[in-house]
Chains A and B, each alone.
Chain A
Amino acid sequence: SAVISQKPSRDICQRGTSLTIQCQVDSQVTMMFWYRQQPGQSLTLIATANQGSEATYESGFVIDKFPISRPNLTFSTLTVSNMSPEDSSIYLCSVATGGLTNEKLFFGSGTQLSVL
């Protein structure tokens, strides 16, 4: 299994500001994923972060709003830019381990973001 540390665990932010969320894994992984869970909803994939290349964003999510960094194989950050109350959600990072024959996907503990 993979141990994923995510911080901050929660934050309350003002409209128009930005927040950077960090995700640290205890082993090297090729792909890291960022998800959003809006209140009372399921998880939606924001983007896939590969080391050494630009992140791949899902429909409805753009780099200017959610810039992602992936400087090495154990770390990634997601920034929520120019926040509005609609950005209030739980943000989770995820990693895939085990390769094609034993694929397992693990999650960090999430960042609870509230925007006032």
Chain B
Amino acid sequence: AQTVTQSQPEMSVQEAETVTLSCTYDTSESDYYLFWYKQPPSRQMILVIRQEAYKQQNATENRFSVNFQKAAKSFSLKISDSQLGDAAMYFCAYTDRGSTLGRLYFGRGTQLTVWP
């Protein structure tokens, strides 16, 4: 079964600094997607960034980028120039591209605090 592990329950960063959130996963599939979602206190799940396993190039979205290491099954999120609005719970998630496309497996989350 697919599992997603986030080993950092909590992280903190100073405003304007850079922080990296870790995620590892376990799967026997070769073709899949990985996601980072942000959940602020409003509980809305917001898609931050998405990575396709068959692409070697790391995904980037403005201040957010990932370090995708397929062989190591590692998928970390880097937030540059952190802002107060980045404070939230961050979830790493996985889905197959096969018959279970769309079924997400989530990590336990990392609570990010941003200090002014």
Q: Which residues of A contact B (CB under 8 A)?
A: 31, 33, 35, 37, 41-45, 48, 90, 92, 94, 96, 100, 103-107, 109-110, 112
Cβ of B101 and Cβ of A100 under 8 Å apart? yes
Cβ B42 vs Cβ A109 within 8 A: yes
**Which 6 residue pairs of A and B lie closest in terms of their CB atoms, listed nearest first?**
A96-B102, A107-B45, A42-B106, A110-B43, A43-B106, A42-B108
B25 within 8 A of A: no
| Interchain CA distance A109-B46 in the complex, whole Å | 9
User: Are B101 and A94 in touch, CB under 8 angstroms?
Assistant: no
Interface residues of B in 98-116 (CB under 8 A from A): 101-109
A109 engages B44 (CB within 8 Å): yes
Q: Give residues in B with beta carbon < 8 Å to A.
A: 33, 35, 37, 42-45, 47, 50, 91, 93, 95, 97, 101-109
User: Which residue in chain A gives the minimum CB-CB distance to B44?
Assistant: A109
Q: Which residue of B lies closest to A37 (CB)?
A: B43
Complex Cα spacing A105 to B108, Å: 18
Q: Which of A45, A48, A103, A110 has the most CB of B within 10 A?
A: A103
Question: Most chain-A CB neighbours within 10 Å: which of B33, B43, B106, B109?
Answer: B43
Q: Which of B43, B50, B102 contacts A33 (CB 8 A)?
A: B102
Q: Contact partner of A92 among B45, B105, B107, CB < 8 A? A: B45
Known: A109-B42, A109-B44. A103 touches B33 (CB 8 A): yes
Contacts of A48 in B (CB 8 A): 102-103
Q: Given A42-B91, A42-B107, A100-B97, A106–B102 Cβ distance below 8 Å?
A: no
